[in-house]
């Protein structure tokens, strides 16, 4: 038994039984170990951004980390954008990066790099394995860091630590999951007192909910809080995972445009954070504050990402004397019929909302169309909604890969902007190879629509020919149906609501990946 065997065994003992990989020479002993560790499902991605994005999507839906396997510093660098998204989502990932054999580093071979420095900005935890005898302890430590922070834990595996035989393998034993931390009653009462004080003087209290607070139990507690006069419960604009649809409490989100966000928060006197962070603008804009809150607004932390946010919300509701429950999405909010005519973001949202099957998973990287997709699906049957959280585009296709691996019995509907799709379009090949049940809808406006919006946001209203070429995706138009077929995924093009409905019914009725290019 060598270090690679021990790495696989330790991951399995900690419940990590999926590895998304793009390996190279220094990882070949880990690859060989997979033939001896059949419990470990290894999924190949053709680009490291697919690997890291899939690990993010998987953990959001499986409620446990996957492992990655990346090749040296350059391979890690290729995957950093989606590790950034995972870090922002507080997604647990055990990120394994192979390195040269320890004694070869001094030779400064062409692929030698400072992996620690590359990993640290996108990781909450970085650890280099010191040798074959250190593999088990280091892997266990990385797993514990990933699930308790929660976040990205990067483990660096030198080649000689992987290939060297170990005469006395470490003892094995299954490890229990680590439960979220219970928020102390004193914290609950401190936040409740601050809220009572503001409400008593007629002020506004907002509770901003993320992480586990956006699951069904947490939303029910949020609904109770929402019955209190002067108290409003919100969600951030982008969320790692939200359970929505019929019979569930729905929360308004803080909008992306900074003027709209500032307007929403203008009257907030106390902001209570429940698994969330203080909201700020995505970018700085000339003449505008980067903060959404007033400078004189108070902030109180009820729970952080590693806490039991749902239980904390329930405890706060009881402390404030909230009633038994708030309004849930009812039958009158169910999408009524299908639209007709030319496609728009709103029409796409309405079609998806009308046809979405129960217990589906929506993966949203629709960017400028995201608000319309979110609005159109609020009254759909119960479903999970996962989003781009860190703003680094290229997550959508891989996120759908990971969600489908985690939940093979559920339909995944990925609504994807065309520009960001091209960052990690290779993920369609992984969907085909693994026969993943994903319907991808490409919102094809043949432009970087978000950048056109941002040009206006920073005060540039007259865009000339050269600048315009940087914001458009035409000349030539991308044939997404052709690209998909080349990667093994069937599909079709829709230009009307009727086309989209027909193709979406076809994709939902079948098994395996299917792509729709929705031209808007």
Q: Is domain 334-519 annotated with CATH 3.40.50.970?
A: yes
- Exposed/middle/buried for residue 224 (C-beta within 10 Å: 0-12, 13-18, 19+): buried
| Token pair 């299908």: residue | 338
Average of pLDDT values for 304-312?
Answer: 97
| Token pair 């001896």: residue | 36
List, in sequence order, the alpha helices (H) in 334-474.
Answer: 345-355, 370-376, 396-406, 418-421, 427-433, 449-457, 465-469
462-495: buried (b, 16+ CB within 10 Å) or exposed (e) per residue? eeeeeeeeebebeeeebebbebbeebebebbbbe
What is the predicted pLDDT for the residue at 92?
98
- What's the mean per-residue pLDDT of the chain? 95
Give the predicted TM-score (pTM) of the model: 0.95
Q: What is the DSSP letter of 104?
A: G
Helices 72-89, 48-62: crossing angle, 10 deg rounding: 30
Residue 199 has pLDDT above 90, yes or no: yes
Measure CA of the first residue to CA of the last residue in the chain; give whole Å. 56
In the sheet that holds 298-303, the strands lie side by side as 231-234, 205-209, 270-274, 298-303
Q: Are 264 and 293 in contact (CB under 8 A)?
A: no
**Topology adopted by domain 3-163:** Rossmann fold (3.40.50)
pLDDT in tens, 53-110: 999 999 999 999 999 999 999 999 999 999 999 999 999 999 999 999 999 999 999 9
Percent of the chain with pLDDT over 70: 100
Give the span between the Cα atoms of 253 and 258, in whole angstroms: 13
pLDDT in tens, 112-150: 999 999 999 999 999 999 999 999 999 999 999 999 999
Q: Are 192 and 319 in contact (CB under 8 A)?
A: yes
What is the predicted pLDDT for the residue at 457?
80
pLDDT in tens, 440-486: 999 998 777 777 777 778 788 887 878 778 877 888 899 999 999 99
pLDDT in tens, 259-289: 999 999 999 999 999 999 999 999 888 888 9
Q: Are 379 and 246 in contact (CB under 8 A)?
A: yes
Give the span between the Cα atoms of 280 and 275, in whole angstroms: 16
Model confidence band, residue 171 (pLDDT cutoffs 50, 70, 90)? confident
What is the predicted pLDDT for the residue at 33?
93
Helix H or strand E segment including 53: helix 48-62
- Exposed/middle/buried for residue 229 (C-beta within 10 Å: 0-12, 13-18, 19+): exposed
Average of pLDDT values for 10-28?
Answer: 96
| Token pair 């970087």: residue | 448
Q: Are 95 and 68 in contact (CB under 8 A)?
A: yes
| SS3 assignment, position 288 | coil
Where along the chain do its domains lie? 3-163, 185-319, 334-519
Give the span between the Cα atoms of 29 and 12, in whole angstroms: 17
Q: Is domain 185-319 annotated with CATH 3.40.1800.10?
A: no
User: Are 185-319 and 334-519 the same fold in CATH?
Assistant: yes
Q: Are 420 and 444 in contact (CB under 8 A)?
A: no
Q: Token digits for 289?
A: 């504050």
Residue 20 has pLDDT above 90, yes or no: yes
Helix H or strand E segment including 74: helix 72-89
Strands 41-44 and 18-22: parallel
Give the span between the Cα atoms of 310 and 274, in whole angstroms: 9
What is the predicted pLDDT for the residue at 337?
86
Residue 176 has pLDDT above 90, yes or no: no
Give the span between the Cα atoms of 347 and 520, in whole angstroms: 10
What is the predicted pLDDT for the residue at 247?
95
3-state helix, strand, coil in the chain (%, to 5): 40, 20, 40
Q: Are 75 and 103 in contact (CB under 8 A)?
A: no
Model confidence band, residue 175 (pLDDT cutoffs 50, 70, 90)? confident
Give the span between the Cα atoms of 210 and 218, in whole angstroms: 9
Query: Smallest Cα–Cα separation from 233: which of 169, 188, 276, 196?
Result: 276
Helix H or strand E segment including 22: strand 18-22
What is the predicted pLDDT for the residue at 316?
98
């Amino acid at each position: 038994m060598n270090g690679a065997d021990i790495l696989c065994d330790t991951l399995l003992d900690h419940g990590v039984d999926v590895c998304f990989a793009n390996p190279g020479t220094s990882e070949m002993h880990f690859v060989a170990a997979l033939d001896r560790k059949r419990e470990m499902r290894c999924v190949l991605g053709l680009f490291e951004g697919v690997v890291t994005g899939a690990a993010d999507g998987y953990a959001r839906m499986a409620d446990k980390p996957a492992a990655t396997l990346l090749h040296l510093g350059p391979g890690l660098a290729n995957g950093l954008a989606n590790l950034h998204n995972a870090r922002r989502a507080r997604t647990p990932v055990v990120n394994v990066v192979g390195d040269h054999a320890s004694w070869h580093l001094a030779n400064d071979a062409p692929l030698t790099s400072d992996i620690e420095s590359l990993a640290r900005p996108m990781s909450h935890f970085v650890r280099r394995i010191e040798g074959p005898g250190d593999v088990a302890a280091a892997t266990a430590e990385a797993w514990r860091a990933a699930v308790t922070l929660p976040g990205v834990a990067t483990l660096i595996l030198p080649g000689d630590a992987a290939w060297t035989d170990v005469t006395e393998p470490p003892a094995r034993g299954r490890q229990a999951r680590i439960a979220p931390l219970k928020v102390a009653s004193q914290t609950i009462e401190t936040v409740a007192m601050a809220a009572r004080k503001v409400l008593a003087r007629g002020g506004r209290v907002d509770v901003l909910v993320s992480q586990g607070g956006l699951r069904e139990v947490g939303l029910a507690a949020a609904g109770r809080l929402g019955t209190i006069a002067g108290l409003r419960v919100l969600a951030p604009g982008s969320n790692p995972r939200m359970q929505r649809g019929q019979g569930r409490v729905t929360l308004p989100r803080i909008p992306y445009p900074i003027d709209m966000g500032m307007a929403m928060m203008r009257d907030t006197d106390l902001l209570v954070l429940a698994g969330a962070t203080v909201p700020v603008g995505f970018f700085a804009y000339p003449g505008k504050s980067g903060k959404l809150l007033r400078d004189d607004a108070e902030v109180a932390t009820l729970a952080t990402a590693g806490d039991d946010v749902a239980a904390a919300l329930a405890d706060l509701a009881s402390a404030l004397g909230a009633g038994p429950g708030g309004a849930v999405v009812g039958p009158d909010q169910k999408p009524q019929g299908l639209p007709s005519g030319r496609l728009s973001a709103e029409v796409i949202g309405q079609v998806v909302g009308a046809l979405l099957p129960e217990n589906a998973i929506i993966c949203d990287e629709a960017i400028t169309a995201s608000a319309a997709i979110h609005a159109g699906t609020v009254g759909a049957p119960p479903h999970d909604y996962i989003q781009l959280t860190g703003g680094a585009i290229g997550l959508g296709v891989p996120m759908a890969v990971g969600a489908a691996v985690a939940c093979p019995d559920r339909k995944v509907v990925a609504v994807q902007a065309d520009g960001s799709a091209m960052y990690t379009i290779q993920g369609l090949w992984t969907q085909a190879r693994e026969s993943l049940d994903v319907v991808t809808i490409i919102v094809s406006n043949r432009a970087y629509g978000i950048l056109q919006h941002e040009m206006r946001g920073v005060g540039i209203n007259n865009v000339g020919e050269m600048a315009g070429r940087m914001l458009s995706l035409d000349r030539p138009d991308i044939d997404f149906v052709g690209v998909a077929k080349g990667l093994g995924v069937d599909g079709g093009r829709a230009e009307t609501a009727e086309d989209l409905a027909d193709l979406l019914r076809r994709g939902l009725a079948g098994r395996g990946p299917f792509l729709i290019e929705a031209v808007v």
